[in-house]
Structure 1
Amino acid sequence: MSIVAGVISDRWSQDFLLIKKEIAQHLSRNPTDVRHEYFDNHLYLCRVAIDCHREANWAENHLRFAMVLGHTLMSPSLTQDVNCLLQHNPENYPQLLADAQGTYCVLNYNKQQHIVNVFADTLAIRPFYYMQYKGGVIFSSCLRLFDKLSVKLTTNLAGVTEYAVVGYPLGNKTHYNEVHSLSPGEKLTFTTKGIQRSRYFRWADMPFNCLEDGHGILQLDRAFKQAVDLCLGDDIHAVSTLSGGLDSRVIVAELLKRGVQLECLNFSYQRSQDEVYAEAFAQLHDFPLHIVNVRDTQEQSIEQRLGCYWRATQYPFYQQVERPRLVWSGNGGSVCLGMVFCDDEILSACFKDDPVSVAKAYLKHQHAYIPKRMVKDGEMLQHQLEQNIVACLEQYSHLPLEKAFQLFLWENDQHQHIAPALEDLDKFRLDFHLPFYSKAVLSVMFALPVSSAVKHQLYMKWLNHTYSEALVTPWQTYPGHLTCPLKDHRLSALSKWQLTENVKNKLNLVNIGVKTLFDAKGDFYHRHYLGANCLLTALGLHSGESTLNVVKRMNKVLKPHH
């Protein structure tokens, strides 16, 4: 894995030379990281190698160079894959990547024609960002870099509010008007003349509603095992997350079947279902589980917490793992297989073929509301959010609406899911095996009717068919989905939806709100309402935590000089 950024231009003015210098300085926040630089008066490219895969992800000859962020998983070997890509022109990449099962971003540079081509995986799980600037193009695998460059950036209010209330910007937006993200299945072409965008792969063009449950389970099982094969390679030791739910449990069950020596980490609220159920599963199957209790499970993702805790100095097992900076993660299971963000109200709106009602029902399901009295133009921004969701759904107008909604989740929510962890790649030097995002696994789920997948129905049929050992101890379920049938005293543990905000977190939110009153970001809010909310929440006269959480999330990405 690497962090990469660069500029392509045919005029290297003082502006571009300064940006070139700033890229090298800020690409990694670790000053001792080696910067590998390429410069030919047309392209400047800087990369910092983070050796998670312990294989080369860069290949070069006199005609071109190629690199892979993440892993294409055309084969188990990253080095083999990148050398294969080097031997071909980018025109052949769609065919080469047709069997790629990984999450990746592929870059190719033609040294004679001065053309950069960038290819995203089918959901663009690996983030990549770009902007046009004074006739050139600036690009980076981390969004944080753009704020360090001598370029003017302005706040994209739609992107900021989407991030604040649903957790991610829709489409290829970021929270800057000038910067865009690579989209699922997209090919970008950068030249000294500008940017060309095209789609070399679209889920919307793939076969759908053509599988029944019986064949679907068999194909899903085959696809999942193939993904594990490709990820695992020759490793016989591994580290994985393990929550109280099913996604990481399925991965662990498959690795145990293969005789992999395994240790797991759990990050959870003390005596919650996440902790208690993970502990019960680990005890039954007799493998080490390290539990790290946290007070606020929403403050960081599990992947970000792993970067802090999974260190050689803390875990003796670390030295035995062949690739200790590669961790198995269940990301994608609950959304792509279990359809966790779909409920009866959303389905009803889909069957009525009413995209506006689908958007409203989804936002209701997510409790995704902009505080209209607090945020300036909040009502307009909420309406714009609904319309932006409708526009996403209408991209797939040839599909049944429930299928379009499935793709909306894949290509928006999942597209942004591990981006926060990868933003910190320079800090934590950690990457992930993500078998649920395998193209073959997703192909099966897209071929099945949505009615088979919702509420974890097909997921549970698959587990009962193949991983019955994963269902011997209790597991955490989502509200409205298939419940855990096991009767056990441990079922009394609190689910993550029952955990209440602690006093420390409430005071932290109030403190953020008060500080916002007196800084430039306060211009985005009605200060009198924000102040009253802080005061009444602090006195216990009003439960303003959810509103202040929106302020906290907006403040993370707002640029004060809007």
Structure 2
Amino acid sequence: MSIVAGVISESWTSDLLLIKKEIAQHLSRNPTDIRHEYFDNHLYFCRVAIDCHRESSWAENHLRFSMVLGHTLMSSSLTQDVNTLLRQSLSNFPQLLTKAQGTYCVLDYNKQQRALTIFADSLAIRPLYYMKYKGSVIFSSCLRLFNELSVPLTTNLAGATEYAVIGYSLGNKTHYNEVYSIQPGEKLTLTSTSLVKERYFRWSDMPFNCIDDREGTLQLDHAFKQAVDLAIGNDLHAISTLSGGLDSRVIVSELLKRGIKLECMNFSYQRSQDEVYAEVFAQCHDFPLHIVNVSDTQEQSIEQRLGHYWRATQYPFYQQVERPRLVWSGNGGSVCIGMVFCDDNILAACASGDPFAVAKAYLKHQHAYIPKRMVKQGAKLQRQLEQNIVECLCQYSHLPLDKAFQLFLWENDQHQHIAPALEDMDKFRLDFHLPFYSKAMLKVMFALPVSSAVKHQLYMKWLNQSYSEALLTPWQTYPGHLPCPLKNNLLPPLSQWQLASNVRNKLDLLKIGVSTLFDAKGEFYNRHYLGANCILTALGLYRGESTLNVVKRMNQVLKSPH
């Protein structure tokens, strides 16, 4: 894996030469990282190689260079894949990548035509960001880099609002009006005079509602095992996350079946279901589990926490793992396979045929509301958020509305799901096996009727058929989804939803609220309501933590414009 950035331009003014220098300086926050630079007076390309896969992700000859962020998983070898791409004509890339099972961003530069072509995977799990500036195009795999460059940036209020209340920006928006994100299945062609966008792969063009549950479980099982085959390569030792839910334990069960020596890490609130159920599962199957108790499970992702704790100096097993900076993760399982963000109200809205009803039902399910009195124009921003969701759904107007909603989640929520962890790759030097994002698994889920998949229905049929050992001990379930049938003789641990009020640091939220009253970001809020919220929450007369949490998340993306 690498992090990359660059500029493509027809002429190099002093402004662009300064940006070129700033990219090299800020691409990695580690000053000792080697910057590999390419410059031919049309393209400046800078990369920092972070050797998680322990294979080369770069191939070059006198006509072109190709590189992969992440892993295409056309084969189990990243080096083989990138050399395959270099040998092929660019016109063959869409056909090659349609068969790729990994999460990737492929970049290919034609030195004669002076054209940089970029391909995103089917969900754009591996991000790439770009902006036009004075006749040039600036691009980066890290959004944080743009704030370090001498370019004008203004806050995209719609994108910031979406991030604050649902956790991600919709479509190709970012926190900045000037910067855009590559989209699922998108191909970008950058030259010194143009930027052309097109889609080389669309899930909405794939067959749907064409297989039954029996065929679905068989195909899903085959696809999952194929994804593990490609990712594991020749590894004999591995590190994985393990929560109290099902996604990570399915991965662990498959690795144990293969005889892989395994250790797992769990980050959870003390004596929560996440901790207790993971611990019982590890004891049942006799493998080491390292538990790290945290006070706020929402403050960082598990992947970000791994970067802090999974170190050679702390764990002797680290030295045995062939690729210790490559961790197995269950990301994508609950949303793409279990359809966790779909309930009866959303299904009813889909059946009504009204995309506005679907948008409202989804926001209600997510408790995603802008504090209308606290945020200036809060009611208008809430209506805009609903409209933006409707516009996303209407991109798939030829599909049944429940299928359109399924794709909405895949191409928005999941599209940006691990981006925060990848932003910190220069700090934590960690990458992930993500088998639930395998194109073959997603193809099965799209081919099934939504009614078969919701509430973990097909997921549980698959596990009962192929991974009964994963169901020997209790697991955490989502409200309204199929319950765990096992009797739990342990003291009933708290679920992650019961923990919500316990794990938030009320004092920190109050500090953020008070400080916002006196800084430039406070202009976004009605200060008298914000002040009243802080006072009443501090006195225990009002539970304003959820509102203050929106302030906290909004402040993370409200940048002072350059």
Same fold (TM over 0.5): yes
Letter of the 2:492 counterpart: S
Q: Find out whether 1:45 has 2:45 as its counterpart.
A: yes
CA distance, structure 1, for counterparts of residue 147 and residue 352 of structure 2: 44
Other-structure match for 2:311: 311
Q: Say which SS state the counterpart of residue 173 (structure 1) adopts.
A: coil
CA distance, structure 1, for counterparts of residue 269 and residue 82 of structure 2: 42
Letter of the 1:473 counterpart: T
Q: Find out whether 1:509 has 2:506 as its counterpart.
A: no
The question of whether the paired residues in 2 share the 8 Å contact of 1:273 and 1:491 is answered with: no
CA distance, structure 2, for counterparts of residue 446 and residue 427 of structure 1: 36
Q: Say which SS state the counterpart of residue 480 (structure 2) adopts.
A: coil
Letter of the 2:392 counterpart: C
Q: Say which SS state the counterpart of residue 10 (structure 1) adopts.
A: coil
Other-structure match for 2:78: 78
Matches within 5 A, 1:16-415: 16-415=16-415
Other-structure match for 2:469: 469
CA distance, structure 1, for counterparts of residue 503 and residue 52 of structure 2: 39
Which consecutive aligned stretches of 4+ in structure 1 deviate over 2 angstroms post-superposition?
500-504
RMSD over aligned Cα, in angstroms? 0.9
CA distance, structure 1, for counterparts of residue 346 and residue 317 of structure 2: 45
The Cα shift of 1:500 comes to 4.3
Q: Say which SS state the counterpart of residue 291 (structure 1) adopts.
A: strand
Q: Say which SS state the counterpart of residue 559 (structure 1) adopts.
A: coil
The question of whether the paired residues in 2 share the 8 Å contact of 1:12 and 1:41 is answered with: yes
Other-structure match for 2:495: 495
CA distance, structure 2, for counterparts of residue 503 and residue 307 of structure 1: 21
The question of whether the paired residues in 1 share the 8 Å contact of 2:295 and 2:503 is answered with: no
CA distance, structure 1, for counterparts of residue 151 and residue 91 of structure 2: 33
Q: Say which SS state the counterpart of residue 443 (structure 1) adopts.
A: helix
Matches within 5 A, 1:546-561: 546-561=546-561
The Cα shift of 1:69 comes to 0.1
Does 492-501 or 225-234 show the bigger shift?
492-501
Aligned residues: 562
Residues 456-504 of structure 1: CA distance to partner in whole angstroms, max 9, x if unpaired?
0000000000000000100000000000000112371100000143487
CA distance, structure 2, for counterparts of residue 373 and residue 489 of structure 1: 47
Q: Say which SS state the counterpart of residue 117 (structure 2) adopts.
A: strand
Matches within 5 A, 1:532-551: 532-551=532-551
Matches within 5 A, 1:477-492: 477-490=477-490, 492=492
CA distance, structure 2, for counterparts of residue 426 and residue 541 of structure 1: 44
Q: Say which SS state the counterpart of residue 262 (structure 1) adopts.
A: strand
Q: Say which SS state the counterpart of residue 469 (structure 1) adopts.
A: helix
Q: Say which SS state the counterpart of residue 106 (structure 1) adopts.
A: strand
The Cα shift of 1:182 comes to 0.5
CA distance, structure 1, for counterparts of residue 77 and residue 100 of structure 2: 12
CA distance, structure 1, for counterparts of residue 33 and residue 560 of structure 2: 31
Q: Say which SS state the counterpart of residue 69 (structure 2) adopts.
A: strand
The Cα shift of 1:561 comes to 4.0
CA distance, structure 2, for counterparts of residue 64 and residue 504 of structure 1: 51
Residues 107-165 of structure 1: CA distance to partner in whole angstroms, max 9, x if unpaired?
00000010000000000000100000000000000000000000000000000000000
Residues 233-292 of structure 1: CA distance to partner in whole angstroms, max 9, x if unpaired?
000100000000000000000000000000000000000000000000000000000000
CA distance, structure 2, for counterparts of residue 414 and residue 543 of structure 1: 31
Q: Say which SS state the counterpart of residue 256 (structure 1) adopts.
A: helix
The question of whether the paired residues in 1 share the 8 Å contact of 2:271 and 2:494 is answered with: yes
The question of whether the paired residues in 2 share the 8 Å contact of 1:474 and 1:491 is answered with: no
The question of whether the paired residues in 2 share the 8 Å contact of 1:277 and 1:490 is answered with: no
Change (3 A) 1:201 1:37: same
Q: Say which SS state the counterpart of residue 263 (structure 1) adopts.
A: strand
Residues 53-94 of structure 1: CA distance to partner in whole angstroms, max 9, x if unpaired?
000000000000000000000000000000000112221100
The Cα shift of 1:404 comes to 0.2
CA distance, structure 1, for counterparts of residue 431 and residue 256 of structure 2: 21
The question of whether the paired residues in 2 share the 8 Å contact of 1:105 and 1:118 is answered with: yes
Letter of the 2:421 counterpart: A
Letter of the 2:254 counterpart: E
CA distance, structure 2, for counterparts of residue 340 and residue 418 of structure 1: 17
Identity of aligned residues (%): 80
Residues 413-446 of structure 1: CA distance to partner in whole angstroms, max 9, x if unpaired?
0000000000000000000000000000000000
Q: Find out whether 1:13 has 2:13 as its counterpart.
A: yes
The question of whether the paired residues in 1 share the 8 Å contact of 2:241 and 2:327 is answered with: yes
CA distance, structure 1, for counterparts of residue 111 and residue 504 of structure 2: 56
Letter of the 2:90 counterpart: P
Other-structure match for 1:453: 453
The Cα shift of 1:194 comes to 2.2
Does 240-249 or 531-540 show the bigger shift?
531-540
Change (3 A) 1:363 1:523: same
The question of whether the paired residues in 2 share the 8 Å contact of 1:374 and 1:530 is answered with: yes
The question of whether the paired residues in 1 share the 8 Å contact of 2:277 and 2:476 is answered with: yes
CA distance, structure 1, for counterparts of residue 207 and residue 10 of structure 2: 43
Letter of the 1:371 counterpart: P
TM-score, normalization: structure 1? 0.99
CA distance, structure 2, for counterparts of residue 102 and residue 203 of structure 1: 15
CA distance, structure 2, for counterparts of residue 521 and residue 89 of structure 1: 50
Letter of the 2:310 counterpart: W
The gaps in structure 2 that reach 5 residues or longer are none
Residues 518-542 of structure 1: CA distance to partner in whole angstroms, max 9, x if unpaired?
1101011111111111111111111
Change (3 A) 1:2 1:503: closer
